[in-house]
Amino acid sequence: MTTKYEPFVAPKTAERIAVYPGTFDPITMGHLDIINRGLSLFDRVIIAVAVNVAKKPLFTLEERLEMIQACFPEDEKRIVVDSVSGLIVDYAYMKGAKAIIRGLRAVSDFDYEFQLALMNRRLEREIETVFLMTGFRWIYISSSIIKDAARYGGDVSGLVPDHICDKLREVYLRAAKS
């Protein structure tokens, strides 16, 4: 005798919001992979472009915000692009997020990210950290590697969205002329 069970469906009480922080200088296909997979878990993902005084970005904050927004022209309801300075966990709390998404490429990323997650957990127990592995296609790329390749004339098409590839060429062409 077989008994048919109805699947449990949790009542939808509140929007599930996650924050995906980073400098995104520039955003890569690996970042987009993490964002798209984050959207399968959360109702809304806030891409929080960090102002990090320790880093010297190639693109201004405004340029990074515009480049990221251009990646999601039709998804204004589920994707929010914003800037943030200060503690990400405080920002996430202020935005009503339940999670911070962190992308991992390799085991070497895990140690730092795990420490960061533990500190965030200590600062705000209500916010979880969700680790998502970058797709195998993108595991070897980072914004720094992309910039280095583009700086020396390497073809980075397919590793970043087309409009960002164009921006990289434009920046490095301008630098070569000066």
Question: What are the distances in angstroms from CA 103 to CA 3, 98, 159, 160, 178?
Answer: 41, 17, 16, 16, 36
163 is catalytic: no
Radius of gyration of the chain (CA): 18
Neighbours of 82 (CB within 10 A): 14
Task: Write down the catalytic residue from 16, 78, 98, 105.
Answer: 105
Question: Which candidate, 162, 102, 103, places its Cα nearest to that of 128?
Answer: 102
Question: Which candidate, 60, 48, 58, places its Cα nearest to that of 22?
Answer: 48
171 exposure class (CB count in 10 Å sphere: 0-12, 13-18, 19+) = middle
Tokens of 11: 């009542």
Task: Write down the catalytic residue from 55, 137, 144, 163.
Answer: 55
143 is catalytic: yes
Task: Write down the catalytic residue from 37, 44, 102, 143.
Answer: 143
55 is catalytic: yes
Strand ranges, E, within 31-125: 44-50, 79-84, 99-104
Alpha-carbon dihedral angle through residues 109, 143, 101, 76, given to the nearest 10 degrees: -170
Active site residues: 31, 55, 105, 143
